[in-house]
């Protein structure tokens, strides 16, 4: 490869000069599906000029499991575990959105206690998702301690979630028309104790990175996306708020879906839309979620029904199932055939940790959906990677990719 | 020695030491694709530490690692990539199928999911669970270590050895 | 503007370009357009006074087999829009036959680029004017379109070597001054 001679007193960091020097130094590189920096199964092909990215093509689909086709062949109840595994860092949230979407098509209204518990689930999911996103972003840039702190706090949160659902990661807690079971009696006190221990730790973790010179140098100005670009690319969630778009579906619903109208919280907004702003927005959202959880833990009723009145959508209790013929038949039909959802369609979207997570359910009557479309926020965020990193260095690609929080499970479904 | 005179396996004191060294210094390649990837990260971090068992040096390059931890659903688009990675690893190498999606396709019986990675690469230890609990993973890792210590030739090497004899 | 006023504005301004407006289970209006004037309707919804649907939440499609209107077109392309100002949602549906084409919405929202690629991949609906219409979720050599109702759930297609991305996609203008 021939190069023109390097002139003396040449500033090699100057962008304009690098075009001339590295005229023939174009490299095509594949940052393949198996790579530490591509979290999961993403692939980016880049055309490099030295270390500057001139053009990039991002590929996805390496985790396409055919969930939408599976949904057309399985009943609504049996699809709940599949929703866990979409945004697997915050599985509780996905369950809630899915069951609410089906309830909207059916026209069911769940009792108050269920709404409170579901809101608690969503906020808990938000906290753990943000911890893992920032943790992985930090690990890619070399800051290993935040990752370990974050994962330890995730383990503590897993203890709470295990108390509630029995599982750490793939929870499958919410049901169409209610919850799987009532939260145990020691759940709310344990939640309050966890919040008390968690609040000072967030401040400690904050001090690791926010005013850290290396972090700031590596993330300020990197991967910046203006407000107009973000609107054109359908950004939602923390990345949109970091680009100064004031959308938060918790607050912006025409009628309240969950109990967000009864708690007070602020919505952080960024200015420049770069990686540092996204990090700050996420840290502040963790704090706001803790604030919401504190209020909800006070307000959540400790007793009351958790299921809708309509008995068709729920499994009868075990003592009735084993003792009464009608309940046994109902139990059998529930699992073998599924409950009937009237014909109609609805699109329900809530504020997931990553953005607008929505389900577009089309039903033609019967026990299986006709079309179950999952609106995953990562899909629209990943699309923006190519314009975002144009002209930046490879190391900035790693930083930007981590800050967008792409979760391959929901990206490819 | 087998009855027809072909060598099967011989354990000597040197082998014992070599196997002990190999089992206690596994260098994993975390090939994490989906939810099991998060559990694998949890096993590798502070609370359930895989570094206690020697598997601390996580190398993302197949040339530098000897344990391929395949965690997460492997789709048909990803399968050739996995085979590529496996072929690039040098002997001795072991494969851990982490989770049910890699063991048998898991809950996904659809048009684009590989029903178990043992259809394309040989597997040494299967860890069931969706995702497996970290204690289960460590149990599987200890089982793998026992297998390495026992000096069993893995079935690939045995197959290769038999091919050589013919 | 609330939903009622919006529906009136749409009906008065767009008139015959919208074949009908119906409502779904939660009261969200569904505007039916045809492939020839879909982009005009979307642009009007995005820029119209009081409508301001600047945000495309989702672009998808479904296979409307065995329904009454299947003779006019087997597939229906669906655009879910959201207005941050009015906090309302609206849906635009376009019915398209199996080998017909729909004009691309990339000129209205850049986010439509990959969403249309996914619809092409899973259904086979082609979008005219799309800059780069190729498969996105499945291997580029895949035959068939899985989300159609006649594609069986378990038809595998396993390839022996990883997918190659055509290199000419990476040619193009080098970066200028940002």
- Pick from B80, B109, B111: which is nearest to C162 by CB? B80
Query: Which of A64, A74, A94, A138 to probe the B interface (max B CBs under 10 A)?
Result: A64
CA angle, residues C75, C7, C21, in degrees to nearest 5: 30
- Pick from A64, A107, A358: which is nearest to C137 by CB? A64
* Predicted local confidence at residue A7, as pLDDT: 44
How many residues does the structure list for chain A?
Answer: 413
How big is the A-C interface in CB pairs under 8 Å? 129
Q: For A324-333, what is each residue's pLDDT tens digit?
A: 898 889 888 8
- Pick from A61, A252, A356: which is nearest to C138 by CB? A61
- Residues of A in Cβ contact (< 8 Å) with B33: 40-41, 62-63, 408
Buried-state track C84-99, b at ≥16 Cβ within 10 A, e below 16: bebebbbbbbbbbeee
B107 in contact with chain C, both atoms CB, cutoff 8 A: no
Query: Which of A35, A62, A159, A378 to probe the B interface (max B CBs under 10 A)?
Result: A62
- Residues of A in Cβ contact (< 8 Å) with C115: 379-380
Q: For A54-71, what is each residue's pLDDT tens digit?
A: 888 888 888 898 898 999
CB atoms within 10 A of CB C139: 22
Q: For C9-53, what is each residue's pLDDT tens digit?
A: 877 877 777 777 888 888 888 888 888 888 888 888 888 877 788
Residues 21-50 (C) with a CB less than 8 A from some CB of A? 24-26, 28
Check pLDDT > 70 for residue B158: no
Residue of B nearest to C161 (CA): B80
Distance of CA B18 to the CA centre of its chain: 18
How big is the A-B interface in CB pairs under 8 Å? 91
Predicted TM-score of the model (pTM): 0.88
C54 in contact with chain A, both atoms CB, cutoff 8 A: yes
Distance of CA A293 to the CA centre of its chain: 18
Check pLDDT > 50 for residue A3: no
Alpha helix (H) residue ranges in A23-64:
none
**Structure tokens belonging to residue A234:** 């359908």
* Predicted local confidence at residue A283, as pLDDT: 92
Give how far C42 is from chain A: nearest CA, Å.
Answer: 14
User: Do the Cβ atoms of B33 and A408 come within 8 Å?
Assistant: yes
Check pLDDT > 50 for residue A4: no
A366 in contact with chain B, both atoms CB, cutoff 8 A: no
A61 in contact with chain C, both atoms CB, cutoff 8 A: yes
User: Do the Cβ atoms of A155 and B31 come within 8 Å?
Assistant: no
pLDDT bracket for residue B150 (50, 70, 90): confident
Start-to-end CA distance of chain C, whole Å, equals 39
Question: Helix, strand, or coil here: A293?
Answer: helix
Query: Which of A15, A48, A371, A391 to probe the C interface (max C CBs under 10 A)?
Result: A371
- Pick from C138, C153, C154: which is nearest to B77 by CB? C138
Maximum CA extent, chain C: 57
Strand spans (E) along A287-400:
344-352, 355-363, 371-375
**Structure tokens belonging to residue B23:** 């089992």
Check pLDDT > 50 for residue A13: no
Q: Whole-angstrom Cα distance, residue A282 to residue A288? A: 10
- Residues of A in Cβ contact (< 8 Å) with B45: 147-148, 151-152
User: Do the Cβ atoms of A89 and B38 come within 8 Å?
Assistant: yes
- Residues of C in Cβ contact (< 8 Å) with B114: 158
Check pLDDT > 50 for residue C87: yes
- With tokens 């086709």, the residue in question is A69
- Residues of A in Cβ contact (< 8 Å) with C169: 45, 57
Q: Whole-angstrom Cα distance, residue A359 to residue A357? A: 7
Question: Helix, strand, or coil here: A393?
Answer: strand
**Structure tokens belonging to residue A276:** 């540092």
H helix or E strand, kind and range, residue C30: strand C29-33
Residue of B nearest to A37 (CA): B60
* Predicted local confidence at residue A20, as pLDDT: 53
* Predicted local confidence at residue A126, as pLDDT: 92
User: Do the Cβ atoms of B110 and C158 come within 8 Å?
Assistant: no
Q: For A187-198, what is each residue's pLDDT tens digit?
A: 989 999 999 999
Give how far C162 is from chain B: nearest CA, Å.
Answer: 5
Q: For B24-82, what is each residue's pLDDT tens digit?
A: 888 888 888 888 888 888 888 778 888 888 888 888 888 888 889 999 899 888 888 88
A59 in contact with chain C, both atoms CB, cutoff 8 A: yes
User: Do the Cβ atoms of B80 and C151 come within 8 Å?
Assistant: no
User: Do the Cβ atoms of C153 and B111 come within 8 Å?
Assistant: yes
Q: For A68-111, what is each residue's pLDDT tens digit?
A: 899 998 999 999 999 888 888 888 999 999 999 999 898 888 89
How many residues does the structure list for chain B?
Answer: 166
* Predicted local confidence at residue A154, as pLDDT: 87
CA angle, residues A375, C92, C116, in degrees to nearest 5: 50
Check pLDDT > 80 for residue A11: no
Give how far C116 is from chain A: nearest CA, Å.
Answer: 12
User: Do the Cβ atoms of A232 and C111 come within 8 Å?
Assistant: yes
Check pLDDT > 70 for residue B102: yes
H helix or E strand, kind and range, residue B86: helix B79-88
Sign of the alpha-carbon torsion through B142, B148, B152, B155: positive
pLDDT bracket for residue A365 (50, 70, 90): confident
- Pick from A32, A40, A62: which is nearest to B77 by CB? A62
A77 in contact with chain B, both atoms CB, cutoff 8 A: no
Check pLDDT > 70 for residue C178: no
Give how far A74 is from chain B: nearest CA, Å.
Answer: 12
- Residues of A in Cβ contact (< 8 Å) with B35: 84-85, 88, 169-170, 409
Give how far A63 is from chain B: nearest CA, Å.
Answer: 6
pLDDT bracket for residue A17 (50, 70, 90): very low
Q: Whole-angstrom Cα distance, residue C49 to residue A275? A: 34
Better pLDDT: C67 or A167: A167
Cross-sheet strand order for the sheet of A43-49: A26-31, A43-49, A52-59
Residue A336 has phi, psi (to 5 degrees) of -85, -40
User: Do the Cβ atoms of C155 and B111 come within 8 Å?
Assistant: yes
H helix or E strand, kind and range, residue A27: strand A26-31
Least confident of A311-320, B9-18, C53-62: B9-18
Distance of CA B32 to the CA centre of its chain: 13
Asked if residues A150 and A205 have their Cβ atoms less than 8 Å apart, the reply is: yes
Check pLDDT > 80 for residue B152: no
Q: What percent of chain C has pLDDT over 90?
A: 4
Average pLDDT value over all residues in chain A:
85
Angle between the A112-140 and A394-404 helix axes, to the nearest 10 degrees?
170
* Predicted local confidence at residue B163, as pLDDT: 54
Cβ-Cβ contacts under 8 Å for A91 (sequence gap 6 or more)? A83, A84, A85, A125, A169, A170, A171, A172
Give how far B85 is from chain A: nearest CA, Å.
Answer: 8
Query: Which of A30, A380, A409, A411 to probe the C interface (max C CBs under 10 A)?
Result: A380
Q: What percent of chain B has pLDDT over 70?
A: 83
**For residues A347-374, average pLDDT:** 90
Q: Which of A125-139, C40-54, C71-85 has the highest mean pLDDT?
A: A125-139
User: Do the Cβ atoms of A379 and C63 come within 8 Å?
Assistant: no
Average pLDDT value over all residues in chain C:
83
How far from A284 is each of A202, A268, A277, A279, A288, CA to CA, in Å?
A: 10, 7, 10, 9, 6
Q: For A264-314, what is each residue's pLDDT tens digit?
A: 888 999 888 889 999 999 999 999 999 999 999 888 888 888 888 888 888
Give how far A340 is from chain B: nearest CA, Å.
Answer: 23
């Amino acid at each position: 490869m021939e190069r023109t001679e390097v002139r003396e007193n040449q500033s090699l960091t100057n962008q304009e000069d690098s075009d001339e020097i590295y005229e023939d130094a174009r490299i095509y590189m594949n940052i393949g599906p198996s790579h530490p920096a591509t979290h999961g199964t993403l692939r980016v092909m880049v055309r490099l000029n030295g270390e500057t990215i001139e053009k990039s093509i991002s590929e996805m689909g390496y985790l396409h499991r055919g969930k939408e086709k599976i949904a057309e062949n399985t009943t609504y109840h049996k699809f709940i575990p599949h929703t866990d595994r979409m945004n697997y860092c915050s599985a509780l949230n996905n369950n809630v959105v899915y069951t609410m979407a089906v309830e909207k098509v059916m026209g069911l209204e769940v009792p108050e206690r269920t709404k409170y518990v579901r809101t608690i689930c969503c906020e808990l999911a938000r906290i753990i998702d943000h911890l893992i996103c920032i943790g992985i972003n930090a690990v890619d840039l070399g800051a290993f301690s935040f990752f370990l702190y974050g994962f330890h706090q995730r383990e503590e949160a897993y203890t709470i979630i295990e108390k509630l659902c029995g599982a750490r990661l793939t929870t499958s807690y919410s049901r169409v028309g209610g919850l799987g079971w009532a939260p145990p009696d020691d759940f709310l006190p344990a939640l309050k104790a966890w919040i008390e221990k968690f609040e000072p730790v967030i401040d400690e973790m904050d001090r690791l990175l926010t005013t850290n010179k290396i972090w700031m140098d590596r993330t300020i100005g990197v991967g910046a996306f203006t407000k107009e670009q973000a609107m054109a690319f359908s950004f939602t969630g923390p990345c949109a708020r970091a680009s100064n778009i004031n959308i938060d579906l918790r607050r912006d619903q025409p009628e309240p879906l969950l109990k967000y109208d009864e708690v007070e919280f602020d919505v952080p907004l960024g200015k420049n839309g770069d990686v540092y702003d996204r990090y700050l927005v996420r840290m502040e959202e963790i704090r706001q979620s803790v604030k919401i959880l504190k209020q909800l833990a006070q307000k959540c009723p400790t007793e009351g029904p958790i299921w809708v009145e309509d008995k068709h959508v729920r499994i009868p209790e075990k003592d009735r199932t084993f003792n009464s013929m009608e309940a046994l038949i109902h139990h059998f039909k529930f699992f073998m055939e599924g409950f009937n959802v009237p014909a109609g369609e609805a699109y329900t979207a809530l504020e997931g940790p990553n953005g607008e997570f929505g389900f577009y359910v089309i039903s033609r009557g019967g026990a299986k959906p006709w079309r179950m479309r999952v609106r995953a926020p990562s899909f629209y965020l990943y699309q923006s990677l190519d314009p975002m990193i144009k002209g930046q260095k490879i190391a900035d690609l790693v930083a930007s990719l981590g800050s967008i929080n792409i979760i391959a499970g929901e990206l490819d479904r | 020695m087998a009855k027809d005179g072909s060598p099967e396996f011989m354990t000597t004191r040197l082998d014992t030491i070599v196997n002990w060294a190999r089992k206690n210094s596994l260098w994993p390649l975390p090939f994490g694709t989906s939810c099991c990837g998060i559990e694998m990260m949890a096993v590798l971090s502070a609370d359930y530490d895989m570094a206690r068992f020697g598997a601390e040096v996580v190398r993302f390059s197949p040339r530098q690692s000897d344990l391929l931890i395949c965690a997460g659903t492997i789709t048909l688009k990803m399968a050739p990539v996995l085979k590529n990675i496996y072929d690039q690893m040098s002997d001795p190498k072991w494969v851990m199928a982490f989770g049910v999606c890699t063991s048998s396709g898991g809950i996904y019986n659809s048009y684009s999911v590989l029903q178990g990675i043992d259809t394309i690469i040989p597997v040494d230890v299967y860890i069931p669970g969706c995702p497996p609990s970290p204690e289960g993973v460590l149990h599987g890792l200890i089982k793998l270590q026992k297998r390495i210590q026992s000096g069993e030739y893995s079935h690939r090497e045995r197959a290769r050895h038999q091919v050589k004899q013919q | 503007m609330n939903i009622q006023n919006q529906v009136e504005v749409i009906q008065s301004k767009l008139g015959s370009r919208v074949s009908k407006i119906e409502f779904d289970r939660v009261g969200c209006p569904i505007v039916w357009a045809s492939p020839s004037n879909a982009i005009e309707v979307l642009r009007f919804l995005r820029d119209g006074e009081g409508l301001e649907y600047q945000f495309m939440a989702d672009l998808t499609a479904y296979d409307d087999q065995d329904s009454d209107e299947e003779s006019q077109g087997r597939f229906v392309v669906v655009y879910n829009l959201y207005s941050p100002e009015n906090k309302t949602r609206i849906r635009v549906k376009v019915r398209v036959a199996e080998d017909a084409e729909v004009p691309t919405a990339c000129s209205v929202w850049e986010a439509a680029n990959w969403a249309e690629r996914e619809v092409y991949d899973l259904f086979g609906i082609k979008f005219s004017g799309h800059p780069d219409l190729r498969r996105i979720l499945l291997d580029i050599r895949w035959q068939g379109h899985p989300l159609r109702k006649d594609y069986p759930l378990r038809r595998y297609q396993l390839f022996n070597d990883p997918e190659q991305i055509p290199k000419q996609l990476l040619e193009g203008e080098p970066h200028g001054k940002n």
